[in-house]
């Protein structure tokens, strides 16, 4: 086959430009017989690692480059007639390979420079350049692309969009020659003319003529000419998608900007490219051989740019901070051994000798594996980071399989005891792993950025970068951009976009026919051709990358050479961010640390600080704890990671299913599971979290677990040898760790091999069965000479293992999750008010804050109104009438700027409303909003006078905002003395009190939560007449009773079901609790568009008992409460 | 002119235009026909555009031949013609197979014919 290498190829990772994934492009190139494949995404290496990976897998060589904007030199004079000034354009830069990574490093550093703020524009600091300023000036590449001896490390392709190409298109051959000479001078041996022929209109850039002139120019100037197709899509069909992307990029509808000239930029076959080369030569003044020469140069350049993944990229080789940076001296393996051995005594001080012996053996095994991979410095680095976080006083907790490592527990990277919970190191770091394992650390969300900055400070910005992530089109965004492209009006786009988000955009048309709530859109599609087209375009955009952003938790650590391996660009928070995403990191060999901000950790930290502040030395007593509890110090500080994990009161509280605010177990589905399970110990919580996933729920692993736990069935351990590790889950296999142990025990292999087998069986590797049968049959007890497993055993065990499939969960993960679950439940039980203040402040859960307030009311916790003199930016625990209440926070007032909030806080307290208006200087509308929710009430109180009504307060507010010019604090204006002092005397009187309904409505509008009473109370007369059942009474009804419930929607879920049919769960809150309704197909059809949109609902359904403390409704029908109310009121009037 | 006018075309061996008849006048191509692809506003076509529906580029592109041609004979009653060289874009509809004259680059001839 004829060879042709595409050297200029934009993948879909050229956001809003390319349409094909690197893997698809490589596959097509390979099919066409390529030996080399190139990728040159716009502005970065976003698709490069995927490209290299695909090339390695296909056994071809990879070429990597970048397509960069060419910016005018700063201070370029305006154009003159003879030399039109350069308008900006683009060039492509390719890295040369087989030079020990110098070419790759040059490319990375050039790209980073293209993104770093321009020196000439000065003071922008670390913030990102606007996208139209990302690029390089002509002078920039020489500093990167030539080594100290002048040898080129890369090649700049001067194509149709370069200054040279534009001069040719403008019919200015002399200028073109001059520009080309200048390039030759700055980059000797490192440039090539890129000939592109897209068969555009004759004379235009990319036309046959233009290509021919470019080729002639190259020949005349003795610069190599290479042929590319400036590829941006895979197939001609994708050109349409390209049009839509162009529209999204320019934020203009199709037709309102100058579009791509045609659809020729696809990955053409070598044959087609050769034909083009010939056509170009034929159109030029050159002999026909010019075509062959151009094709030859193309392949020569391709060969020079072949990357050696190993030598150039150090592919998959770990690159971690140097020893002295993480403060160790000598052999990391030695240091790790010393630290962990010493910690063994600290962590397990009270353990018996036998236990210590087995721990020491486990530690030895773990260290052996770690050192075999050379990962010691990796563990020490992670420990260095978590030590630093702890020293900053920030809560942290390792998550994921890392909790299975004793080394991690000893280094205090994790706080879950792996020995106690039978967690396995082998699940975390098996025998066959060659890349760095993941260790994820959960920290307080509100202090995450603080940690990032500290990591940069500690390791230096040459070793650290944030991880990025590619945001891809989902249904909503795709529909919006497709709508924009078609120029549809805002309302129409909105109507479509708001209703589509529970499926892949790729299936839009298919789904339209199926889902009742999409009926209005389906009808529109029938009647409106534009909407019909919108569906097609939305499908086309699905999953294409849209833009890059900072990964929510990833930090990359490398050695001092990090910037030679990854390009970086400024992130939203200013710190540099790698252009690689999480899927790239393993291959490029960096250490990725997931420092995940978890709001629950912030909530816990806040609750603990409130306990100490409010209770001080009485903390233990107030929490109902033993006065000598070792985890509470005399100052009232609680060491939450040291509380006993068997507190009966806590489990009792969990069993009531009033789990709102408890980490992981507050969702409607979890409440149902908790109600059935009735957990009694920590292991139950691990099981609960591990079971509450689609696989086990579908596979009904829950039922046998519950039946044995509640004593209806006796446990079945499969084999008596398995009892020790199946007992904690009542004989049900839930965890990966259990599967690993079964494999190891049956086949008499190591746990690491067991994990390998587990991974293979999950991939449905048929090979495992034969091995399992052979080895298990051959497993002889040396003491008796008998087989340990009979044929029947082998049969039975294999059946279970096979059926287990992908249902399992990593127990270390479950245990790491269960810890904050238990800790939050413990705090809610012993310190409810500080706990509620914590979750109200940091909002960690799935529910709106208004529901958290409902929960506080249900628990009898007084809610203290918003008060500009007393409220802060957090929910504060305050003593009121001998008990603890919660003061509402100013942070939730709608439309308050940060500056306004800061002013209010600095100037507290206030003597009067006028005083507040003047010193805190809120906007007029903010003053009105604060008045409407009662935040000014306390300022209006006069001594020895009746309390003013809210109406009086609002009258005063209206007086104040009517004054045209508000005096500044410094303006001593004697005409308006009332503004300066206590204005209690100026409060108007006799205005009517606000009604309860008015209050609630204002509170919902301004605070998004009702404070005075539950929102449903406004509808009480109608609800009473309808005979609506309060949620708290459902548990007392007979199974199968038909009832009406009402409430405000707090959750909507569509979990995957065994049958494959969609089921919709809607949870309503009515102030007495939550009712959970299940909508099957028929009820979904009845409810139609109400299913996902309506907030206030009335649902008719049949009660269904789900367990001792569980009840739900099988929905029959649903109504919009507001619509019912309007009808009801109408009938009352007539 | 922007309107397309149907014309009849005689092709050479390589399937590029050789001669064409436009408004009664036969024109002879005197240049090497230059192939190019124009584009159209497919979103105004009132049709759908699902994935794969333009696999030959047909929804977005129009295949054009840019030629230089001269009138080969007089039209008759209208009198003598301008025999100067003019540039034309010819396009064959992929569905109907009809040839169309989609533009004349030099507009002089246009005005002459429509005068």
Chain B residues close to A260, C-beta within 8 Å: 39
Q: Rounded to whole angstroms, how far apart are CA atoms A163 and A172?
A: 11
Question: Which are the contacts of A20, defined by CB distance < 8 A and separation ≥ 6?
Answer: A11, A12, A233, A234, A238, A267
Q: What is the pLDDT of residue A17?
A: 97
Instruction: Quickly state the pLDDT bin for A262 (edges 50, 70, 90).
Output: very high
Interchain contact A237–B (C-beta under 8 A): yes
Q: Which two three-digit tokens encode residue A844?
A: 């960690």
Contact A536 B43 (CB under 8 A): no
- Enumerate residues 267 to 306 of chain A having a beta carbon within 8 A of any beta carbon in chain B: 279, 283
Contact B59 A240 (CB under 8 A): yes
Interchain contact B39–A (C-beta under 8 A): yes
Contact B50 A539 (CB under 8 A): yes
Contact A237 B54 (CB under 8 A): yes
Interchain contact A644–B (C-beta under 8 A): no
Q: What is the pLDDT of residue A133?
A: 83
CB pairs under 8 A between A and B: 91
Q: Find where tokens 């025990």 sit.
A: A745
Q: What is the pLDDT of residue A131?
A: 65
By CA distance, what is A276's nearest residue in B?
A: B35
Of A306, A280, A305, which Cα lies nearest the Cα of A293?
A280
Q: Rounded to whole angstroms, how far apart are CA atoms A930 and A913?
A: 11
pLDDT tens sequence across A164-209: 999 999 999 999 999 999 999 999 999 999 999 999 999 999 999 9
Residue range A922-930: mean pLDDT, rounded = 93
Contact B43 A283 (CB under 8 A): no
Chain B residues close to A262, C-beta within 8 Å: 36-39, 57, 60-61
- Enumerate residues 59 to 78 of chain B having a beta carbon within 8 A of any beta carbon in chain A: 59-61, 64, 66
Residue range A1027-1050: mean pLDDT, rounded = 91
Q: Which two three-digit tokens encode residue A131?
A: 């996208």
Of A600, A1073, A596, which Cα lies nearest the Cα of A824?
A600
Rounded to 5 degrees, what angle do the CA atoms A546, A550, A554 make? 130
Chosen from B14, B16, B31, B34 to mutate, greatest number of chain A CBs within 10 A:
B34
Contact B60 A262 (CB under 8 A): yes
Chain A residues close to B43, C-beta within 8 Å: 243, 254-255, 485-486, 533
Contact A536 B49 (CB under 8 A): yes
Instruction: Quickly state the pLDDT bin for A433 (edges 50, 70, 90).
Output: low
By CA distance, what is A266's nearest residue in B?
A: B57
Chain A residues close to B94, C-beta within 8 Å: none
Every domain of chain B and the residues it spans: 5-114
Q: Rounded to whole angstroms, how far apart are CA atoms A263 and A246?
A: 13
- Enumerate residues 186 to 205 of chain A having a beta carbon within 8 A of any beta carbon in chain B: 198-202
Among A374-378, A420-424, A429-433, A715-719, name the one with the lowest average pLDDT. Answer: A429-433
As a three-state string, the secondary structure of A161-192 is: CCHHHHHHHCCCHHHHHHHHHHHHHHCCCCEE
Highest mean pLDDT among A500-504, A563-567, A1063-1067: A563-567
- Would you call A36 helix, strand, or coil by DSSP? strand
Q: Which two three-digit tokens encode residue A92?
A: 């492509």
pLDDT tens sequence across B52-61: 999 988 899 9
Residues in chain B: 115
Contact B43 A255 (CB under 8 A): yes
Contact A202 B36 (CB under 8 A): yes
Contact B61 A235 (CB under 8 A): no
Chain A nearest C-alpha distance from B68 (Å): 12
Over 50: is that where the pLDDT of B108 sits?
no
Interchain contact A542–B (C-beta under 8 A): no
Determine what percent of chain A is predicted with pLDDT higher than 90.
67
Chain B nearest C-alpha distance from A21 (Å): 16
Q: What is the pLDDT of residue A685?
A: 97
By CA distance, what is A259's nearest residue in B?
A: B39
Nearest to A263 among B34, B47, B57 (CB): B57
Q: Are A747 and A779 in contact (CB under 8 A)?
A: yes
Over 80: is that where the pLDDT of A945 sits?
no
Determine what percent of chain A is predicted with pLDDT higher than 70.
95
Chain B nearest C-alpha distance from A135 (Å): 30
Over 70: is that where the pLDDT of B79 sits?
no
Any idea what DSSP says for residue A504? -
Interchain contact A486–B (C-beta under 8 A): yes
Q: What is the pLDDT of residue B81?
A: 65
Chain B nearest C-alpha distance from A483 (Å): 12
Q: What is the pLDDT of residue A1088?
A: 83
Instruction: Quickly state the pLDDT bin for A123 (edges 50, 70, 90).
Output: very low
Q: How high is the ipTM of this complex? A: 0.90
Q: What is the pLDDT of residue B112?
A: 44
Chain B residues close to A255, C-beta within 8 Å: 41, 43-44
Distances (CA, A) of A582 to A190, A466, A901: 33, 11, 38
What angle, rounded to 10 degrees, do the helices at A475-485 and A490-499 form?
Answer: 160
Question: Which are the contacts of A364, defined by CB distance < 8 A and separation ≥ 6?
Answer: none
Chain A nearest C-alpha distance from B39 (Å): 5
Q: What is the mean pLDDT of chain A?
A: 90
By CA distance, what is B56's nearest residue in A?
A: A236
Q: Rounded to whole angstroms, how far apart are CA atoms A505 and A279?
A: 41
- Sheet harboring A863-864: ordered strands across? A863-864, A883-887, A876-880
Contact A263 B39 (CB under 8 A): yes
Contact A202 B34 (CB under 8 A): yes
Instruction: Quickly state the pLDDT bin for A157 (edges 50, 70, 90).
Output: very high
Distances (CA, A) of A343 to A408, A426, A645: 11, 21, 22
- Could you tell me the sign of the dihedral formed by the alpha carbons of A720, A721, A723, A726, in that order? negative
Interchain contact B83–A (C-beta under 8 A): no
Interchain contact A231–B (C-beta under 8 A): no
Chain B residues close to A243, C-beta within 8 Å: 42-43, 60
Contact B47 A201 (CB under 8 A): no
Reported pTM = 0.83
Interchain contact B96–A (C-beta under 8 A): no
Q: What is the pLDDT of residue A126?
A: 46
Chain B residues close to A202, C-beta within 8 Å: 34, 36, 66
Chain A nearest C-alpha distance from B78 (Å): 33
Of B88, B114, B84, which Cα lies nearest the Cα of B101?
B88
In sequence order, what DSSP letters do the residues of B35-61 get, joined into one string?
Answer: EEEEE--GGGSSS---TTTTTTSTTTE
What angle, rounded to 10 degrees, do the helices at A238-250 and A529-541 form?
Answer: 90
Interchain contact B104–A (C-beta under 8 A): no
By CA distance, what is A536's nearest residue in B?
A: B50
Over 50: is that where the pLDDT of A843 sits?
yes
pLDDT tens sequence across A271-313: 999 999 999 999 999 999 999 999 999 999 999 999 999 999 9
Over 90: is that where the pLDDT of A572 sits?
no
Contact A236 B61 (CB under 8 A): yes
Rounded to 5 degrees, what angle do the CA atoms A1097, A1099, A1100 make? 160
Residue range A568-588: mean pLDDT, rounded = 92
Interchain contact A259–B (C-beta under 8 A): yes
Contact A260 B39 (CB under 8 A): yes
Long-range contacts of A1019-1027 (CB under 8 A, 24+ apart): A1019/A1046, A1019/A1096, A1019/A1121, A1019/A1125, A1022/A1124, A1022/A1125, A1022/A1128, A1025/A1128, A1026/A1098
Chain A nearest C-alpha distance from B69 (Å): 16
Interchain contact A262–B (C-beta under 8 A): yes
pLDDT tens sequence across A16-71: 999 999 999 999 999 999 999 999 999 999 999 999 999 999 999 999 999 999 99
Q: What are phi and psi of A679, to 5 degrees?
A: -60, 145
Q: Which domains does chain A have, with CATH numbers?
A: 22-70+86-313 (3.20.20.140), 474-543 (no CATH), 850-1007 (no CATH), 1016-1133 (2.40.50.140)
Q: Which two three-digit tokens encode residue A3?
A: 């060879």
Nearest to B43 among A264, A486, A540 (CB): A486
Q: What is the pLDDT of residue A1015?
A: 87
Nearest to B55 among A235, A261, A539 (CB): A235
């Amino acid at each position: 086959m004829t060879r042709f290498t595409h050297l200029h190829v934009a993948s879909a990772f050229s956001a809003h430009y390319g349409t094909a994934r690197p893997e698809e492009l490589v596959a097509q190139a390979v099919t066409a017989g390529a030996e080399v494949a190139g990728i040159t995404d716009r502005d970065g290496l976003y698709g490069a690692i995927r490209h290299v990976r695909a090339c390695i897998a296909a056994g071809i060589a990879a070429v990597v480059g970048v397509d960069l904007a060419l910016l005018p030199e700063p201070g370029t004079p305006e154009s003159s007639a003879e030399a039109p000034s350069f308008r900006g354009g683009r060039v492509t830069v390719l890295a040369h390979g087989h030079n020990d990574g110098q070419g790759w490093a040059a490319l990375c550093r050039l790209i980073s420079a293209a993104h770093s703020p321009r020196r000439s524009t000065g003071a922008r600091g670390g913030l990102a350049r606007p996208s139209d300023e990302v690029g390089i000036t002509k002078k920039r590449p020489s500093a990167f692309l030539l080594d100290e001896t002048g040898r080129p490390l890369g090649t700049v392709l001067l194509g149709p969009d370069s200054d040279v190409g534009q001069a040719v298109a403008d019919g200015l051959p002399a200028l073109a020659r001059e520009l080309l000479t200048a390039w030759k001078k700055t980059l000797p041996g490192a440039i090539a003319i890129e000939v592109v022929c897209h068969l555009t209109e004759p004379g235009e850039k990319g036309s046959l003529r233009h290509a021919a002139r470019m080729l002639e120019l190259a020949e005349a100037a003795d610069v190599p000419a290479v042929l590319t197709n400036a590829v941006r899509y895979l197939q001609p069909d994708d050109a349409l998608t390209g049009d839509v992307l162009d529209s999204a990029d320019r934020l203009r509808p199709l037709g309102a900007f100058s579009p791509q000239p045609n659809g020729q930029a696809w990955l053409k076959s070598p044959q087609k490219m050769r034909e083009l080369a010939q056509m170009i030569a034929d159109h030029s003044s050159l002999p026909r051989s010019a075509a062959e020469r151009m094709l030859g140069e193309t392949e020569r350049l391709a060969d020079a740019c072949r990357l050696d993944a190993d030598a150039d990229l150090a592919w998959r080789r770990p690159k971690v901070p140097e020893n002295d940076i993480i403060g160790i001296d000598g052999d990391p393996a030695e240091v790790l051994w010393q630290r962990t051995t010493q910690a063994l005594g600290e962590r397990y001080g009270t353990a018996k000798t036998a236990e210590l012996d087995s721990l020491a053996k486990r530690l030895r095994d773990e260290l052996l594996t770690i050192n075999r991979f050379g990962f010691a410095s990796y563990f020490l680095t992670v420990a260095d980071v978590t030590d630093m976080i702890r020293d900053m006083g920030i809560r942290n907790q390792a998550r994921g399989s890392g909790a299975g490592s004793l080394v991690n527990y000893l280094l205090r990277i994790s706080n879950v005891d792996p020995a106690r919970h039978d967690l396995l190191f082998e699940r975390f770091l098996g025998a066959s792993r060659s890349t760095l394992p993941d260790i994820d650390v959960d920290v307080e969300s509100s202090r995450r950025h603080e940690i990032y900055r500290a990591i940069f400070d500690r390791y230096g910005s040459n070793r650290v970068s944030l991880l990025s992530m590619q945001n891809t089109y989902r249904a909503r965004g795709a529909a919006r951009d497709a709508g924009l492209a078609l120029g549809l009006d805002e309302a129409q786009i909105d109507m479509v976009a708001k209703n589509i988000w529970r499926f892949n955009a790729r299936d839009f048309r298919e789904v339209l026919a199926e889902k009742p709530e999409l009926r209005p859109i389906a009808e529109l599609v029938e009647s409106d051709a534009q909407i019909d087209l919108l569906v097609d375009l939305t499908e086309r955009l699905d999953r294409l990358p849209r833009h890059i952003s900072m990964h929510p938790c990833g930090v990359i650590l490398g050695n001092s050479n990090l910037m030679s391996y990854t390009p970086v660009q400024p992130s939203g928070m200013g710190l540099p961010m790698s252009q690689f995403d999480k899927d790239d990191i393993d291959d490029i060999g960096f250490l990725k640390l997931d420092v995940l901000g978890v709001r629950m950790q912030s909530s816990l930290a806040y609750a603990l600080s409130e306990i100490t502040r409010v209770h001080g030395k009485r903390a233990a007593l107030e929490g109902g704890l033993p006065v000598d509890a070792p985890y509470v110090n005399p100052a009232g500080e609680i060491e939450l990671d040291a509380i006993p994990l068997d507190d009966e009161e806590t489990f009792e509280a969990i069993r009531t299913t009033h789990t709102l605010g408890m980490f992981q177990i507050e969702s409607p589905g979890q409440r149902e599971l908790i109600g059935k399970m009735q957990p009694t110990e920590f292991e139950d919580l691990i099981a609960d979290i591990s079971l509450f996933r689609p696989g086990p729920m579908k596979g009904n692993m829950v039922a046998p677990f519950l039946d044995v736990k509640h004593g209806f069935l006796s446990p079945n351990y499969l084999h008596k040898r398995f009892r020790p590790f199946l007992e904690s889950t009542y004989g049900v296999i839930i965890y990966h760790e259990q599967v690993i142990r079964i494999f190891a025990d049956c086949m008499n292999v190591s746990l690491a091999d067991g994990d390998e087998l587990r991974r293979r069986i999950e991939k449905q590797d048929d090979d495992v069965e034969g091995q399992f049968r052979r080895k298990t049959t051959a497993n002889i007890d040396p003491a008796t000479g008998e087989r340990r497993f009979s044929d029947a055993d082998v049969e039975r065990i294999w059946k279970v293992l096979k059926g287990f499939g992908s249902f399992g969960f990593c127990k270390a993960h479950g245990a790491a999750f269960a810890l904050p679950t238990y800790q939050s439940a413990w705090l809610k039980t012993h310190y409810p008010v500080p706990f509620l203040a914590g979750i109200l402040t940091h909002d960690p859960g799935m529910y709106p804050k208004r529901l958290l307030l409902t929960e506080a009311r249900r628990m009898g916790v007084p809610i203290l109104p918003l008060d500009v003199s007393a409220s802060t930016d957090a929910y504060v625990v305050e003593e009121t009438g001998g008990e603890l209440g919660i003061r509402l926070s100013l942070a939730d007032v709608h439309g308050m700027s940060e500056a306004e909030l800061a002013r209010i806080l600095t100037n507290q307290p206030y003597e009067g409303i006028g005083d507040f208006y003047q010193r805190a200087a809120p906007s007029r509308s903010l003053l009105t909003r604060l008045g409407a929710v009662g935040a000014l009430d306390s300022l209006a109180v006069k001594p020895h006078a009746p309390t003013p009504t809210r109406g009086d307060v609002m009258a005063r507010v209206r007086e104040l905002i009517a004054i045209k010019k508000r005096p500044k604090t410094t303006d001593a204006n004697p005409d308006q003395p009332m503004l300066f002092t206590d204005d209690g005397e100026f409060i108007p009187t006799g205005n009517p009190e606000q009604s309860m309904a008015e209050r609630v409505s204002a509170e919902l509008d301004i605070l998004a939560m009702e404070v005075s009473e539950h929102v449903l109370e406004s509808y009480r007369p109608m609800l009473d007449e309808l005979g609506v059942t309060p949620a708290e009474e459902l548990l007392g009804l007979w199974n199968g009773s038909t009832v009406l419930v009402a409430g405000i929607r707090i959750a909507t879920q569509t979990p995957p079901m065994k049958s494959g049919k969609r089921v919709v769960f809607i949870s309503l809150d009515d102030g007495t609790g939550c009712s959970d309704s299940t909508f099957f197909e028929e009820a979904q059809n009845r409810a139609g568009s109400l299913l996902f949109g309506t907030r206030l609902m009335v649902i008719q359904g049949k009660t269904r008992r789900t367990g001792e403390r569980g009840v739900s409704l099988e929905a029959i029908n649903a109504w919009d409460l507001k619509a019912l109310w309007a009808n009801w009121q109408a009938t009352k009037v007539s | 002119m922007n309107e397309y006018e149907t014309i009849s075309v005689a092709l050479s061996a390589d399937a590029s235009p050789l001669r064409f008849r436009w408004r009664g006048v036969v024109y002879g191509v005197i240049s090497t026909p230059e192939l190019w692809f124009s584009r159209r506003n497919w979103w105004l076509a009132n049709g759908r555009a699902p994935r794969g529906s333009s696999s030959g580029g047909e929804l977005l592109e129009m295949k054009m031949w840019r030629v230089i041609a001269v009138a080969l004979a007089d039209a008759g009653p209208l009198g003598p013609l301008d025999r100067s060289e003019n540039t034309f874009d010819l396009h064959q509809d992929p569905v109907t197979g009809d040839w169309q004259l989609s533009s004349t680059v030099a507009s002089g001839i246009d005005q002459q014919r429509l005068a």
